Structure 1
Amino acid sequence: MSSSSSSPAPPHVVEDCLGIVQLLSDGTVTRSGDYSSISLMRDVPIDLPVQWKDVVYDAGRGLRLRMYAPANHGGEEGKLPVLVYFHGGGFCIASFELPNFHAGALRLAGELPAVVLSADYRLAPEHRLPAAYEDAVAVLSWLRGQAAAAADPWLAASADFERVFVCGDSCGGNIAHHLTVGCGSGDIALDAARLAGCVMLWPYFGGEARMPSEAPPPPPEGDASPSAMGITLFDQMWRLALPAGATRDHPAANPFGPESPPLDGVAFPPVLIVDPELDVLRDRVADYAARLEAMGKRVELVKFEGQGHGFFVLDPMSEASGELVRVVRRFVHAG
């Protein structure tokens, strides 16, 4: 008489996001540093007159930001606005260290000009929302301390803490929205610093009800992996980033969802929103801007014809990216 014991099946992949992040059936996550599935620059411009260094803003979590300042800007020329930048990646991937984000920050710092603080934050699904928001608040808390004590010599020499702008692309734009709401509602204190504006580049919002531009694509033939910058990929990233069991109407994704706090009474600074013509989220972004404007907020919505989601990140040195930098420069230096 013989007996056999069956061992449990090994965990299998539940979600595979661009081959970079895999969520397994047992809840574990594997993460790769191989970003070859994304178009990355080979050579980052080195001739831009910008200096940069990495700074720890949250020692307990080992979280850093990269500080950029124009190298040839002297104190006699006046202090510069501070652009606090949060990178995109659906809350799941990327870092300020990726060459495209680094090149974009170099260009913003040199051509605005401005002091740019490009911050990393904890990523999902290991750290689901609101982790990224908590880290973004920690960035502003760090900046508040700098404004009070002027501890960093670069900031002491160049930063105008009266002109702080929160900024980000895609989910970084989403983070910028939530920081703006936190500051405007009094939940986030800046004390010696002042929030002068918010810059959202194709902000990553969602909702259970589809906007016309978000119509799902036809079923793929052959390879069924999510297409780059498409609604299938965005839906997957929301599944990985939102609290377990939450829908896209969660307040993190949908600012006007059934459980989202009203924004009518929240004090907003001037807001610049960039909405590319070919972005599948373009209708949702335009609706967001229209709703804020209807509440009396100062909103500038700029369309970029022929461009898609993330165009500044995918090619930060392109002609369209140059125009984007000029648009941001007008907004930041408008007084």
Structure 2
Amino acid sequence: MIVSLSLGTANIPIAEVWSIVLHSVTGWGAEPISSQAYEQIVLQVRFPRVVLAILVGASLSLAGAAFQGVLRNPLADSYTLGVASGASFGAAFLISFGWHYVIGQWTVPIAAFITALLSLFIVMRLASVNGKFKIETIILAGVVVQAFFGAVVSLLVSLSDSVVNEIVFWLMGSLALRDWSFSMMLAPYLAAGALVLMGFARALNLFSLGERQAAHLGVHVERTKRIVLILGTLLSAAAVSVSGTIGFVGLVTPHLIRLLVGPDYRLLLPLSAIYGGIYVLWADTMARLLLSPTEIPLGVVTAFLGAPFFAWLLVRHKRKVAI
């Protein structure tokens, strides 16, 4: 956070940056000798963006770890279950028809959040058999919903000549022009989701033994799956609604934590949130600085960082199987 907040396109001395921050947050020291523009850049542009990057990364990583645990599938995340594509549909629909400022800056985030929840409802309806969810059925239903909403988004992009750049920019993800209100919206979802999911850490550990064994050991299997899936979707939907679609965060971070501390979800869940926040913060810092003053979409940077890592995990797994 210190490094990211100190760096930016505007050439503000590091000492001046932290003089502004410390005086504004704590009131200590003399008022910094700086222009009002510097204060606006540090306190209203950089600082909220740094905080939001951490919250978005933590939410996506926590959701990815929860999905992977309850579905016992290392590829499960918000994309696999159609949540991200559902959010993309809501945003693309409003932008393509010029309705993205009907109620101000919150129009697109609210629509993305609602359609993300709608996509989960459709997935759960497709996967439900007599009130129960089979893991392979949920994943297949998620792939179907993802493909359908992805096709609709592609159609909207092809038909929206005048606003196609806005749609594509949102689909690639960005934290630009996000003020404190976005962090204040996302923070309660992350706090509540993290607390409740930590209560299911033991159940997720037992899920690794199989659903039947988990049930014998006292886990309410169907209720647990339903609650964890809904919580993961709420976290993903809230994050995607404020940042656009950002790939690989929910996939890469939980795998990295498993390499470091093992598969115990009592450690995996909180550390996934912490490392996910760090991952997205570094990616967003790179997005701001690599081609400054031009900004790279955040989703592009996370894909460049995440894809090689995931390929390395795949090669590593193949070598283990071969041995």
TM-score, normalized by the shorter chain, greater than 0.5: no
Structure showing the higher helix proportion among its residues = 2
TM-score (norm 2): 0.26
Structure with larger RCO (C-alpha < 8 A, sep 6+): 2
Structure showing the higher strand proportion among its residues = 1
TM-score (norm 1): 0.25
